[in-house]
Amino acid sequence: MSFIRINVKRQASNVKRKDNMKPKSIKVGILGCGTVGAGVVRCLLENNSHIERHIGARIEIKKISDLYPKIKRDVKIPSGLMTKNSDSVINDPEIDIIIELIGGTTISKKLIIDAMNNGKHVVTANKALLAVAGKELHKIARKNNVGLFYEASVAGGIPIIKALREGFTANKINSLFGIVNGTCNYIFCRMFESNLSFDRALEEAMEKGYAEADPTLDIEGIDSKHKIGIAASLAFGQWIPQKSIYVEGITKITDVDVKSAMEMGYKIKLLAIAKFEDEKIEVRVHPTLIPESSLLSSVNGVFNAVEVDGFPIGKTMFYGQGAGMHATASAVVADIVDIARNILHDSPQRLQTFSFGKKAIPVKKIADIETRYFIRCTVLDRPSVIAHISAELGKRNISISSVIQHEEKTEEDFSIIIFMTHTSRERDVQSAIKAITKLPEVKEKPAVIRVEA
Amino acid sequence: MSFIRINVKRQASNVKRKDNMKPKSIKVGILGCGTVGAGVVRCLLENNSHIERHIGARIEIKKISDLYPKIKRDVKIPSGLMTKNSDSVINDPEIDIIIELIGGTTISKKLIIDAMNNGKHVVTANKALLAVAGKELHKIARKNNVGLFYEASVAGGIPIIKALREGFTANKINSLFGIVNGTCNYIFCRMFESNLSFDRALEEAMEKGYAEADPTLDIEGIDSKHKIGIAASLAFGQWIPQKSIYVEGITKITDVDVKSAMEMGYKIKLLAIAKFEDEKIEVRVHPTLIPESSLLSSVNGVFNAVEVDGFPIGKTMFYGQGAGMHATASAVVADIVDIARNILHDSPQRLQTFSFGKKAIPVKKIADIETRYFIRCTVLDRPSVIAHISAELGKRNISISSVIQHEEKTEEDFSIIIFMTHTSRERDVQSAIKAITKLPEVKEKPAVIRVEA
């Protein structure tokens, strides 16, 4: 019985292809119609004839589910599409592609899995879900011979996912550096431009709608961690577990750090970093000094950028809007178009991306990474202090590239000394920091910011 | 007879797909093995297991043709691959993909067409050929149901062709701004950084190997014209004839222009511009003032960048190496991988790109464009001169946004006055320039540089 059905289907598809009778429309169902959903609907309605011209078929919205069908949206939803019942969307036999824009990691996960098990292709913008369940979802997609696409999950206005899955396949990726959180980038830019404190810059970001009411996910680096997890997984061909990604937020960066960085020709950015070195992977998110002369340091405001260094391509950078209704909608619709092409050409699993089962490349612990360091010490102004701190660094093979001490003092009459190191090992630096903290002239645990050239 | 053969082929291919017996290797033949060819061979040899991991098949070099099989190359060519006979490559029945790296527009064209008529997919880096024969080649590709790929033809290290053919399909492209010629960008950077004259900067570019012995194609903008022609064709879905692209080289830009631009907060770049406005296309290449605060203006040295503005994606920019052995090889191999995926998934014409036969969108004449202008006048220092020039501009509805006149004089005791205009029509500006040239206080035809914000 099952055998016969498969045969019939194949034949039908062959007939279609031989006679060049391609399907005239691809039908999509949308789960969740908030800001991004409205953007997707608008893009599909406005640009449909343009898309049809490129791919030779129409994209048709068949159903949209949302808990609040009647709220005011930035687009007029054509009548008859809205439903509260998401199951009716994923079970509609005519729908080819499901667009998941609900967010979260529970209901959305179940719906995506059910949809794929129903033979639907899936597009999702859900970075939190992919970061934790990407491997599982890819396996289910493969089992069902359907596509799983998620361009919008990392830096919407930047087609980095497609580049990593396709454009850079020929390359061995050495490193990815991403500014992938607009909120943090906006905060740092304001701290640099106008000497705002972190708190004031965050307040301003909230006033302008660039930060959520609860900005924790952004400023603690969790959002960036999700995104670099996905990007690094694609770059290195194995799904990187979130727990192996080191993360540090931006809340401890002070105006002294900003000023000192500027003096030394650096800016501070929340960088999401992935590297492949010595047959090991490292993935980390933390505030980072980068040279002012670098193109990444010119990425201002809420914009995102991802720099990829690979062989043979060399250094390349993508820049664009990371979030927002339109940039995200563009990414979602790009995925819809990609899947539509795969449907039209009967190649649903054109992108395999992962080779599960092969031996995984080990991921470094943060203690094992090597980079340069900016160390800010708050000290009593005694003649011996630089010598004592330098001695602790020297003992651990940490060599100093420059030192700055200003004449001005803190309110409590402490001095601030900044040490920049040459490339050192994290483990050694943390050990030195412990020892330096215990020195009698040192007021508190020194602040450490990693540096990337 | 032909019917039977087609049927047999289809069946075989179905069997393959049903049993998941994908071909184990895709065979490529390379025409022309100079610097780029050596880079492609090296990338295919070094990264093959990496590529296999991603796509599930090996890429195998079957034959390489070159007029000089024995010259020293940057890679050891495996024995038995080299031949002088390019026909033996395009006629080899085992070869799936032909890589054309010969250049020029005669032999290369014939070989590409013959290869496609033989059922081979084609990858080429040949911008000059595509610029003039892109439409014809696409038609032949479609007729033969093969892929035609050319990522390396525009800014090798930047996957802009793929983005335009796929990633941005959902978007209506409003504009493309490209810095796509490394030689010109290097020259302008040196003029800005170190106050070099154009001639000295060109000399330096030649010394460093960034300019050819005959730099005409680069400095006269022809190379950029080829590239923007290809990119604009993909952006707007119709092949743009080279003759409808306005081009102006960089040789007339003086150090006074550079200094004045800097004072006003601008840099000068050779921009390749394509726009879609008022249901018309405009495509042009010329030296252009762009604000120093723009990201494009930070693209230094021989690097390339392309900024795309579309709906819904907004502004996005790609940055990378435009030329050189490795960046170009990366683009060529990315295309090979794309075609390999299409072969493996039996979707050879997945990207149609063009809908020939539809009504073409008209391309504007240069006289009809509207932009801002920088006008440099060399004049006798008489009280009336600004008034007279302003009057000629005003008569033609050209409104002035700023004027700079320095106290210092030229060697022949002339003054230099720079006018910056608001948005004006090219036709009016050219008419004003004619009239201004005739004014008795004006020494020579004023220099005009267009401005883009």
Nearest to A112 by CA among A128, B382, B431: A128
Nearest chain B residue to A40, by CA = B312
Q: Does A73 touch chain B (CB under 8 A)?
A: no
The CATH class that applies to domain B2-156+326-344 reads alpha beta
Q: Which amino acid, B144?
A: N
Q: Point out the residue among A14, A46, A337 whose CB comes nearest to the CB of B10.
A: A14
CA distance A50 to chain B (A): 7
Q: Give the pair of three-digit tokens for residue A68.
A: 């609040």
What is the structure's pLDDT at B145? 93
Q: What's the whole-number mean pLDDT along residues B196-225?
A: 96
A residues 172-201 closer than 8 Å to B (CB):
172
Q: How many CB atoms are closer than 10 A to CB B19?
A: 8
Show residues of chain A in contact with B167, CB under 8 Å: 151, 159, 162, 334
Tens digits of pLDDT across chain A (453 residues) = 333 333 333 333 333 344 455 558 999 999 999 999 999 999 999 998 888 888 889 999 999 999 999 999 989 999 999 999 999 999 999 999 999 999 999 999 999 999 999 999 999 999 999 999 999 999 999 999 999 999 999 998 899 999 998 888 889 999 999 999 999 999 999 999 999 999 999 999 999 999 999 999 999 999 999 999 999 999 998 899 999 999 999 999 999 999 999 999 999 999 999 999 999 999 999 999 999 989 999 999 999 999 999 999 999 999 999 988 999 999 999 999 999 999 998 888 787 666 655 678 999 999 999 999 999 999 998 889 999 999 999 999 999 999 999 888 888 889 999 999 999 999 999 999 999 999 999 999 999 999 998
The lowest-confidence range among A98-102, A133-137, B14-18, B255-259 is B14-18
Q: Does B318 touch chain A (CB under 8 A)?
A: yes
Enumerate the H helices of B376-447 as residue ranges.
Answer: 385-395, 426-438
In angstroms, the CA B146 to CA A115 distance is 33
What is the structure's pLDDT at B4? 35
SS3 B339: helix
Characterise B357 by phi-psi region: left (phi > 0), alpha (psi -120 to 50), beta (else): left
Nearest chain A residue to B3, by CA = A18
- Contact: A352, B55; criterion CB under 8 Å: yes
Residues in contact with A440: Cβ distance below 8 Å, sequence separation at least 6, in sequence order? none
In angstroms, the CA B84 to CA B65 distance is 5
Q: Does A333 touch chain B (CB under 8 A)?
A: yes
**Residue A110: its H or E element:** helix A107-117
Nearest to A349 by CA among B345, B19, B340: B345
Nearest chain A residue to B327, by CA = A313
Mutation site, B350, B351, B353, interface A, largest A CB count within 10 A: B350
Q: What's the whole-number mean pLDDT along residues B251-280?
A: 95
Q: Give the pair of three-digit tokens for residue A240.
A: 């990187």
What is the structure's pLDDT at B355? 60
Show residues of chain B in contact with A158, CB under 8 Å: 316
What is the structure's pLDDT at B23? 60
CATH of B167-319, one of 3.40.50.300, 3.30.360.10, 3.65.10.10, 3.40.50.2300: 3.30.360.10
Nearest to B176 by CA among B238, B229, B241: B229
Nearest to B157 by CA among A296, A237, A307, A232: A307
Q: Point out the residue among B169, B312, B320 whose CB comes nearest to the CB of A317.
A: B320
Q: What's the whole-number mean pLDDT along residues B19-24?
A: 57
Q: Does B145 touch chain A (CB under 8 A)?
A: no
Q: Point out the residue among B10, B51, B162 whose CB comes nearest to the CB of A167.
A: B162
Q: Which amino acid, B277?
A: E
SS3 A77: coil
Q: Is the pLDDT of residue B305 over 80?
A: yes
Nearest chain A residue to B158, by CA = A316
- Contact: B159, A169; criterion CB under 8 Å: no
Q: Give the pair of three-digit tokens for residue A176.
A: 């990815």
Q: Does A47 touch chain B (CB under 8 A)?
A: yes
Q: How many CB pairs under 8 A join A and B?
A: 214
Beta strands in A366-427 (DSSP E): 370-379, 400-405, 415-421, 424-425
Burial class (CB in 10 A: 0-12, 13-18, 19+), B450: buried
Q: Point out the residue among B18, B47, B341 whose CB comes nearest to the CB of A172.
A: B47
Give the rounded percent of residues in chain B with a pLDDT score beyond 70. Answer: 93
In angstroms, the CA A219 to CA A211 distance is 9
- Contact: B352, A56; criterion CB under 8 Å: yes
Residue B304 confidence class, pLDDT cut points 50, 70, 90: very high
What is the structure's pLDDT at A350? 80
- Contact: B320, A329; criterion CB under 8 Å: no
Sign of the Cα pseudo-torsion (A129, A134, A135, A136, in order): positive
Characterise B346 by phi-psi region: left (phi > 0), alpha (psi -120 to 50), beta (else): left
Q: Point out the residue among A39, A298, A338 whose CB comes nearest to the CB of B312.
A: A39
Nearest to B260 by CA among B18, B449, B43: B449
pLDDT, greater one: B199 or B15: B199
Q: What are phi and psi of B446, to 5 degrees?
A: -60, 150
Sign of the Cα pseudo-torsion (A223, A227, A230, A233, in order): negative
Q: Does A291 touch chain B (CB under 8 A)?
A: no
Q: What's the whole-number mean pLDDT along residues B370-385?
A: 94
Q: Is the pLDDT of residue B99 over 90?
A: yes
**Residue B361: its H or E element:** none
What is the rounded average pLDDT for all residues in chain B? 91
The lowest-confidence range among A37-51, B5-19, B24-38 is B5-19
Q: What are phi and psi of B452, to 5 degrees?
A: -125, 135
CA distance B322 to chain A (A): 10
Residue B343 confidence class, pLDDT cut points 50, 70, 90: very high
Nearest chain A residue to B235, by CA = A54
Contact B161, B151 (CB under 8 A): yes
Show residues of chain A in contact with B74, CB under 8 Å: none
Where in chain A are the domains? 2-156+326-344, 160-321, 366-451
In angstroms, the CA A238 to CA B111 distance is 40
Q: What's the whole-number mean pLDDT along residues B43-71?
A: 92
In angstroms, the CA B323 to CA B418 distance is 35
What is the structure's pLDDT at A424? 98
CA distance A28 to chain B (A): 15
Q: Point out the residue among A162, A299, A312 whose CB comes nearest to the CB of B167.
A: A162
- Contact: A312, B295; criterion CB under 8 Å: no
Give yes or no on whether A160-321 and A366-451 have one common fold.
no
Nearest to B299 by CA among B423, B188, B150, B136: B188
Q: What is the CATH number of domain A366-451?
A: 3.30.70.260
Q: What angle do CA A171, A173, A174 make, to 5 degrees?
A: 135
pLDDT, greater one: B361 or A122: A122
Give the rounded percent of residues in chain B with a pLDDT score beyond 90. Answer: 81
Q: Which amino acid, B381?
A: D
Architecture of domain B367-451: 2-Layer Sandwich (3.30)
- Contact: B42, A312; criterion CB under 8 Å: yes
Q: Is the pLDDT of residue B17 over 50?
A: no
- Contact: B315, A313; criterion CB under 8 Å: no
In angstroms, the CA B23 to CA B12 distance is 12
Show residues of chain A in contact with B318, CB under 8 Å: 316-319
Q: Give the pair of three-digit tokens for residue A114.
A: 């059910």
SS3 content of chain B, % helix, strand, coil (to 5): 40, 25, 35
Q: What's the whole-number mean pLDDT along residues B375-392?
A: 94
The residues that bridge with A306 in the sheet, in sequence order, are A178, A318
Nearest chain B residue to A312, by CA = B326
Using alpha carbons, list the distances in angstroms from residue B185 to B191, B305, B418: 10, 10, 23
Rg of chain A on CA atoms, in Å: 25
Show residues of chain B in contact with A42, CB under 8 Å: 312
- Contact: B350, A347; criterion CB under 8 Å: yes
Q: Does A345 touch chain B (CB under 8 A)?
A: yes
Contact B333, B383 (CB under 8 A): no
- Contact: A326, B312; criterion CB under 8 Å: yes
Q: Does A142 touch chain B (CB under 8 A)?
A: no
Rg of chain B on CA atoms, in Å: 25
Q: Point out the residue among B50, B316, B355 whose CB comes nearest to the CB of A172.
A: B50
Show residues of chain B in contact with A334, CB under 8 Å: 166-170
Nearest to B416 by CA among B251, B260, B250: B260
Active site residues of A: 227
Question: Cis ω on the peptide bond leading into residue A312 (within 30° of 0)?
Answer: yes
Show residues of chain B in contact with A171, CB under 8 Å: 47, 330
Q: At what angle do helices A325-344 and A48-55 cross, to 10 degrees?
A: 30
Q: Which amino acid, B171?
A: N
**Residue B282: its H or E element:** strand B280-291
**Residue B5: its H or E element:** helix B2-18
Show residues of chain B in contact with A52, CB under 8 Å: none
CA distance A303 to chain B (A): 9
Show residues of chain A in contact with B324, CB under 8 Å: 314
Q: Point out the residue among A168, A319, A334 whose CB comes nearest to the CB of B167.
A: A334
Nearest chain B residue to A168, by CA = B334
Give me the interface pTM, i.e. the ipTM.
0.86
Q: What's the whole-number mean pLDDT along residues B212-223?
A: 96
Q: What's the whole-number mean pLDDT along residues B247-274?
A: 96
Strands B58-65 and B25-31: parallel
Q: Does A355 touch chain B (CB under 8 A)?
A: yes
> What's the topology of domain A160-321?
Dihydrodipicolinate Reductase; domain 2 (3.30.360)
Q: What's the whole-number mean pLDDT along residues B123-149?
A: 95
SS3 A305: strand
b/e sequence B418-448, b meaning 16+ C-beta within 10 Å? bbbbeebbbebbebbbebbeebebbbeebbb
Nearest chain A residue to B18, by CA = A10
